[in-house]
Amino acid sequence: MEDLPLLSALVVAPAAGAGTVALMPRDRPNATRTVAVLTTLVVAVLSVLVLVAFDTTDAGFQFTERYPWIDDFGIAWYLGVDGISLFLVVLTGLLFPIAVIGVRPHHDPKAYLAWLLLLEAGCLGVFVALDLFVFFVMFEIVLVPMYFLIGGWGYGERVYAALKFFLFTMLGSAFMLVGILAVAFLHERATGVLTFDLVVLAEAQGAIAATTARWLFLAFAIAFAVKVPVFPLHTWLPDAHTQAPTAGSVILAGVMLKLGTYGFLRFGLYLFPEAAAYFAPALVTLGVVGIIYGAVVAAMQRDLKRLVAYSSVAHLGFIVLGTFAFTTPALSGGVMQMVNHGISTGALFLLVGMISDRRHTREISKLNGLQKAAPLLAGVFTVVMLSSIGLPGLNNFVGEFLVLIGSFPTRRWWTVVATVGVILAAVYLLWAYQRVFHGVPDDENASTPDMTRRELAVMAPLLAAMVFLGVYPKPVLDRIEPAVDRLIAHVEDSSGFSQPQIVAEGRSE
């Protein structure tokens, strides 16, 4: 199966689907929706095929494809996946059909679905690209559909939120473009070969001086930190989430924010291992500040959707902590937490969208007693909320536990502070649940409809994933850990550090 161009199909299929939807007549909305749903289902099947055929014993890149593109500049259509990117591909393949089936746009479904499909193509392209130029193109493509989704189908201040999102992320990407070009040309000056091949550039020893590599790492890190987003570059996220349509929030939280955390792993650590080790304390500090800050601000929110948005800032801080702890449990937990966050927070945004569509408000003070009127909705919300809190037996517990236990030997005091974020998450989510679902409902809340069968069917795969990953994460970790071990070995070999040395430094701190 490795001989089949599965990864190209993953990227091309949704792009072709977007083109097909764009060319269909506007007076056939049902046919347009059918094409979009079928396209996302085909991509989901392809992602599952990649998962099934993935070799757990191979720590390198699999299903690699390389086709010449711009030979004069050493650019090729070079794709591949390893254990770090595998489940992000699967997560993307499964979340998009849920977003398309579970949420119907209020107007102009043709353009809405076309933008969603193009967004899926761009996200998948980021996760499978092994050529820096291809990666940058895909990294930038996702900005356009999300900008139009927020601006065209969002809520009150949607134009402001869309513009803020676009400007923040575009500015960060400008730094990365300079870094990509510098890496390629410095490699050419040292070796005589111009290439954007990630593997070749990462494995070239001595092509870039240590001081230069640190500056280049910062250029990449700015782009990834904005996309995560890392505190204090997070200010675009609450506005984008709050004003985005429900499907936009689901994809933004579930997939797009992972472009930043994945970028740190795939490109930051792999291309600049010594620089990553040098800046690790600063990035871990920002990640931990984000955990506490996001949790405290989330507890103060009056808008339920904005509360979930700030919870993302807190949860993603754990991934940053795990990434720069440089231990196998922490890095594996960080990768798993990317998937877990996409599942649980994507589900929370779906549920908030259901509540908003029923009550036409997201103000927590106007929502009370919904449990009596909609017990099924309250029950599903409870499971998803407990998953987000990190209750043992559900998915987020596994990721956060691995991050904390893996970070403690190398980043002891940061880990101690980050643990407080787990407690704060329980505070703001339980308090929000109490105000929304408990109490005596007023007349409007008392007549709130319960979940429909279609809505329950949409939520069922997410609920199943929360339980499965919480009870039996071994199949996922078995595929993640070989690639993580390989990456850590690369950082140790290239930076001059060994894991025992890092542990000793962490204890001395």
Total domains in the fold of the chain: 1
CA dist list (Å): 232 to 87, 228, 342: 28, 11, 22
pTM for the model stands at: 0.91
Q: Is residue 1 part of a domain?
A: no
Task: Say how far apart CA 333 and CA 405 lie, in whole Å.
Answer: 9
Number of H helices, E strands in the chain: 24, 2
Neighbouring CB atoms inside 10 A of 122's CB total 25
Model pLDDT for residues 301-322, shown as the tens digit of each residue: 888 999 999 988 888 999 999 9
User: Given this model, what pLDDT does residue 496 score?
Assistant: 57
Answer whether residue 338 shows pLDDT above 80.
yes
Task: Say how far apart CA 127 and CA 51 lie, in whole Å.
Answer: 14
The mean per-residue pLDDT over the stretch 91-119 comes to 92
Strands 62-70 and 75-81: antiparallel
Percent of the chain with pLDDT over 90: 59
Answer whether residue 509 shows pLDDT above 80.
no
Percent of the chain with pLDDT over 70: 96
**H helix runs in 192-272, sequence order:** 198-203, 210-227, 236-243, 246-251, 258-263, 270-271
Model pLDDT for residues 247-270, shown as the tens digit of each residue: 889 999 889 999 999 999 999 999
Q: Is residue 379 part of a domain?
A: yes
User: Given this model, what pLDDT does residue 439 score?
Assistant: 82
User: Given this model, what pLDDT does residue 130 score?
Assistant: 94
Contact, 95 vs 251, CB < 8 A? yes
**What tokens does 234 get?**
């997070």
Q: Is residue 494 part of a domain?
A: yes
User: Given this model, what pLDDT does residue 192 score?
Assistant: 85
> pLDDT grade, residue 11 (50/70/90)?
very high
> pLDDT grade, residue 281 (50/70/90)?
very high
DSSP string, 177-210: HHHHHHHHHHHHHHHS----BHHHHHH-SSSS-H
Model pLDDT for residues 139-155, shown as the tens digit of each residue: 999 999 999 999 988 88
> pLDDT grade, residue 504 (50/70/90)?
very low
Whole domain around residue 136: which residue ranges?
6-508
Model pLDDT for residues 179-198, shown as the tens digit of each residue: 999 999 998 888 888 899 99
Answer whether residue 241 shows pLDDT above 90.
no
User: Given this model, what pLDDT does residue 27 score?
Assistant: 81
**What tokens does 50 get?**
């990649």
Model pLDDT for residues 339-361, shown as the tens digit of each residue: 999 999 999 999 999 998 888 88
Answer whether residue 135 shows pLDDT above 90.
yes
Contact, 215 vs 311, CB < 8 A? no
Q: Is residue 221 part of a domain?
A: yes
**What tokens does 119 get?**
């967004």
Answer whether residue 175 shows pLDDT above 60.
yes
Phi-psi region of 63 (alpha: psi -120 to 50; beta: other; left: phi over 0): left
**What tokens does 193 get?**
């070969």
Instruction: Please state, rounded to an integer, the average pLDDT across all residues of the chain.
Output: 89
**What residues have CB less than 8 Å from 143, skipping those under 6 apart?**
165, 166, 169, 170, 173
DSSP 230: P
DSSP string, 61-129: -EEEEEEEEEGGGTEEEEEEE-HHHHHHHHHHHHHHHHHHHH---SS-HHHHHHHHHHHHHHHHHHHHB
User: Given this model, what pLDDT does residue 507 score?
Assistant: 38
